Amino acid sequence: MFTLNCDRAYLFAHPERELTAEEQVHYEAALNERVRGVPAQYITGHQEFWGMDLIVTPAVLIPRPETEHVIETVLELYKADLRPQTLDLRTSTPDVRSQRSEVELRILDVGTGSGCIALALAKEFLLAEIHATDISAAALEIARANAARHQLEHRIQFHHADLLEGLNLSDLDFIVSNPPYVGESEEDHVQLEVRKFEPRNAVFAGRTGVEVIARLLPQAHAALRPGGWLILEISGTIAGEVDQLLRGWDEVRIIPDLQSIPRVAQARKPRT
Ligand SMILES: C[S@@+](CC[C@H](N)C(=O)[O-])C[C@H]1O[C@@H](n2cnc3c(N)ncnc32)[C@H](O)[C@@H]1O
């Protein structure tokens, strides 16, 4: 599909199609890159997330399917906690889309990388004010390109920042983040492809893996409104420690992914 720049249907519909000499060279070059260990997404330059085709380069982490649990958690909390409880009179069932647009949420995505989380939330919450930060200027360029690709560039404000430093944001409803959370002491257990090809500051947080989260928590606490939510992607390795760090927050919950690995931490800033 990458070599021919076609979709899967074309591939199945044209089994007789032979590669031209030029296509053959293109195909073999891609295969050689893959043999060298380069992730397929960096070769094709694309990855799907939340139904969107995103551009990826080695400047950004390749969005992972389990990160979609972060989006699902925000949607669930919104539905349970913030969505106005009105009914669509025609069907007597909640009209999710129009209700979603009724509340003007303020959302921040910390460490946006390709922009996948911020874009997915911009698609889901039509009136939300959305901010996204990254410490990497190169990553922010890709996130901006992805926003433009999906006509969301006017919906998201991108900031080059170390976590929330210098942002002057307050009264946020949600802070979401898939921060770097792998400890340098675990480096030997990390897939070689990740270690060799994905940006180091997107994956590794410090010696134990909680260093970035530990810095993020007080900054997030200060920027959330009372009752606002912090949603973090985490791993099984750091789940216990994150749970400890979230003492003093309300409604802390560690949510497993489809493989039953602790994957999302939710916590609410106390109302008083
Ligand atoms: C695990 S990646 C997540 C990227 C994207 N949100 C995703 O889910 O695929 C972490 C991101 O955080 C950024 N980052 C690392 N340290 C940071 C910091 N101190 N402040 C802001 N962003 C940071 C990295 O550049 C990287 O883009």
pLDDT in tens, 40-60: 999 999 999 999 999 999 999
Does residue 88 register a pLDDT over 80? no
State mean pLDDT over 197-213.
Answer: 96
Atom number, ligand 1, closest to the C-alpha of residue 203:
1
Residue nearest to atom 11 of ligand 1 (CA): 111
> How many Å lie between the centroid of ligand 1 and the Cα of residue 202?
5
State mean pLDDT over 65-89.
Answer: 83
| Predicted structure pTM score | 0.92
Taking CB atoms and a 6 Å cutoff, what residues make up the pocket around ligand 1? 60-61, 63, 67, 110-114, 116-117, 133-136, 139, 162-163, 178-180, 201-202, 212
- Average per-residue pLDDT for the chain: 93
> How many Å lie between the centroid of ligand 1 and the Cα of residue 15?
42
Residue nearest to atom 8 of ligand 1 (CA): 178
Place of tokens 């649990």: 69
Q: Which residue did the predictor score with more confidence, 100 or 35?
A: 35
The reported pLDDT for the residue numbered 84 is: 67
Does residue 101 register a pLDDT over 50? no
Residue nearest to atom 17 of ligand 1 (CA): 135
> How many Å lie between the centroid of ligand 1 and the Cα of residue 231?
14
- Pocket test residue of 134, 160, 203 for ligand 1, highest count of atoms within 8 A of CB: 134
Count CB neighbours of 176 within 10 A.
30
Q: What is the DSSP letter of 72?
A: H
The reported pLDDT for the residue numbered 100 is: 45
**What tokens were used for 68?**
């979609």
> How many Å lie between the centroid of ligand 1 and the Cα of residue 101?
28
> How many Å lie between the centroid of ligand 1 and the Cα of residue 40?
21
d(CA 54, CA 138): 15
d(CA 126, CA 33): 40
d(CA 18, CA 13): 13
Laid out side by side, the sheet with 250-256 consists of: 156-160, 129-134, 106-110, 172-177, 224-233, 262-268, 250-256
User: In which region does residue 74 sit, left (phi positive, over 0), alpha (psi from -120 to 50) or beta (all else)?
Assistant: alpha
pLDDT in tens, 13-27: 999 999 999 999 999
Contact criterion met (CB below 8 Å) for 206 and 251: no
pLDDT in tens, 129-152: 999 999 999 999 999 999 999 999
Percent of residues, the chain, with pLDDT higher than 70: 93
- Pocket test residue of 107, 117, 201, 232 for ligand 1, highest count of atoms within 8 A of CB: 201
Tallying the residues shown for the chain, one arrives at 272
Does residue 93 register a pLDDT over 80? no
